[in-house]
Amino acid sequence: MRLVLCRSALAALLLLPVLMGGMAQAADDPVAALDAANKALSASEALAEFDVPVTTGAAAGYVPDATCALCHEEKAESFSHVAMSRSFYRPLSRPVIEDFSKGFYHAPSDRHYEMALQDGAYLFRRYKLASDGRRILVFERKVDWILGSGNHARIYIYQTEDGGLYQLPLAWYTQEGGRWGMAPGFEFALHLGVGRQVRRNCMFCHNAYPQVAEGSDAHGMPEVFPKDLPQGIGCQRCHGPGAAHAGKAMAGEDEPSVRAAIVNPASLPKDRLYSICYGCHMQPTLAVTGIRRFGRNAYSFRPGELLDDFRIQLDMTDPGMPRAERFEINHHPYRLEQSACFIESKGELGCLTCHDPHVKRTPEERPAHYRAACLTCHTTDEAGLPLPTTATTGKVSTHPAIDEGADCTVCHMPQRRTQDVIEVTMTDHRITRDPGPGDLTAPLEKRVNEVAGIEMLRAHAGLSEEEALMARAMGVLQYTAGKAGYAADALAAVLDAAPMRYFEPWYVLADSHMKRRDFAGALEPVAQAILRAPKHPGLRAMEAVALYATGSQALGLKRMEALVAGRADLPLAHYQLAVMYRDQGRADDAIAMARKAIAARFNMWTAHRLIGELEMERGNWRAAEETFRQALVIEPDAARPRKGLVEALDKLGRSEEAALYRATAPDAEEASGRESEAR
């Protein structure tokens, strides 16, 4: 029989006096201890007895954060005010801060945006205005998730039937009184519209780990998420999976055993402690993200590990922006490590010198708190003025006169406008004696990084020369969306000289060939990758397309049919099979397969376009008009659906309406860009 207890009774059974005495201590090898503890039968039995769900699969051993709060109530309450706890959540689960009375017009793309609070939901709307002032190509979608604490911004996300998460182009920025604006990456005329997918690499830092199947978070696996997701970065992202810790407490095990079943970051060596913080906050540039170590899946990092064992951090060279001048929104440790304070401290200065991750400091508390942190290294003279270094007492300070309670960070870590999110200002963690002239918070024009080179951020102990070369080549391919043939050649050369037992570099090489439409060149790396990951659906789809495109049409078709049989979770593969059927002259099969793709992912505008073109070829002008229009609602500047819609409207005798869509066509270069994105 399952027991349902009131909170006070459960807290008593959880050995409240033991656990409230302080955060649990880590074992000598916290990762090994945690893995062993989470396999303990007594823990799982105890949790099951109290109906506490425990994750399995790719991220096993995690419990709801509410379970942690039963014993660590004060910590949980304090943490609920920290931005990390509000990094991802359902609309209306947090206070409404937006002004819904205002819309936003984005001139570069000639699109209008609105957000409304309607029937207990956030409703996003985007449209264009025709020459007669009429709203056309209206895209409406309920917001399913909000990303961002709202301290600086909120980003809005919707979810498709297959579990894909997509970012909407509109964002709410809270500074300077609050206003709507384009979300980062959507500032220019040519952007991804409503088709920008939120990937696991993004969610790794914006949310707790979800319940997903083992292996589903491997490289290249479908970027999908369950409909029921955690809401925010929780306790266990820094302390590790808590099932064993809570289960041992419920089972009444002794205190050392209970404490050993969870990670206390404060007891870790500094390199492992800051591996937790740096896992999300060390981001040299948004343009080039790090490469996971081969064999490591997205949700495999555990507190207590070295970050270098999970990810190879990459940096870039930008001729127009030296490293010392680059300032992005997630540059906290990247800038801090450029500081003389950090260098001279030999790593003693770090995130926890100033920040308690459980506590949000109020504006009134900050000056004294940060001043005290600075004075852990710096001394003061008899007048209470800071000395520039850890000088002996009695030396006269050259520091300008300031109030006794002044906040050191105002001058030495000033607020500065970020270059990647130009609507936001952040604290610059590069500690400087003099920030220099000019207004660091002045508005900026969005600048696209000029990536002239990609290198590792730092040397990795134990990383082979071959893996380092492959990581750099894969970074270039990641940045260029697989189009840099020279990087693919470099990757191939390393793989020829030192074949890898892992599939990831072979996958990246094959994907580069596919994106450059070198289907023959893709066959060998695809085969090598499949030898190492035989059940990977992305690899199987690449193989089928490459075979079909290189003359083995029957075999390619057969393998794609086998891949999608009985599966509704592979919309891209369904669309690729629809294209094959169309090429074979099987129009009915092509339409049916394209509709399966749309059922899983309604925003696949290319599938709508394919149906429209097939209906047009058969003279079904009304059906063609409907599907071309839907494609344009999703992607308003795509050239082929627009041309098809205009032709269909003319055939249906609606020439005035056809003229409206003909007049709103984008220039040829932009339309070409849209079609290129779809291929």
pLDDT tens-digit readout, 359-401:
999 999 999 999 889 888 888 887 778 876 654 445 667 788 8
The residue among 79, 458, 353 whose CA lies nearest residue 238 is 79
Q: Report CA Rg, the chain.
A: 28
Within 13 Å, how many C-alpha atoms sit on residue 500's CB side?
A: 28
Structure tokens at 628: 């071309």
The residue among 568, 547, 565 whose CA lies nearest residue 556 is 547
SS3 track for 258-315: HHHCCCCHHHCCHHHHHHHHHHHHCCCCCCCCCEECCCCCCCCCCECECHHHCEECEE
Q: Give tens-digit pLDDT for 34-86.
A: 555 555 445 667 788 888 999 999 999 999 999 999 889 999 999 999 999 99
Q: What is the pLDDT of residue 44?
A: 64
Please name the residues in contact with 239: beta carbons below 8 A apart, sequence gap of 6 or more: 23, 24, 262, 263, 264, 265, 303
Q: What is the pLDDT of residue 347?
A: 82
**What is the DSSP track for 179-195?**
EEEEPTT--SSS--TT-
Q: What is the pLDDT of residue 311?
A: 96
Q: What is the pLDDT of residue 407?
A: 86
Q: What is the pLDDT of residue 28?
A: 54
Please name the residues in contact with 186: beta carbons below 8 A apart, sequence gap of 6 or more: 106, 169, 192, 196
Position 35: which residue type? D
**What is the DSSP track for 73-125?**
HHHHHHHTTSGGGGSEE-TTSS-----TT--EEETTTTEEEEEEEETTEEEEE
Helices 571-583 and 553-564: angle between axes, nearest 10 degrees:
150
Q: Residue 521 class from Cβ within 10 Å (0-12 exposed, 13-18 middle, 19+ buried)?
A: buried
How many whole angstroms separate alpha carbon 628 and alpha carbon 620? Answer: 12
CA distances from 11 to 19, 80, 178, 601 (A): 10, 20, 42, 44
Which residues of the chain are modeled with pLDDT < 50?
1-27, 40-41, 391-393, 669, 677-679
Is the torsion defined by CA of 297, 298, 302, 308 positive or negative?
positive
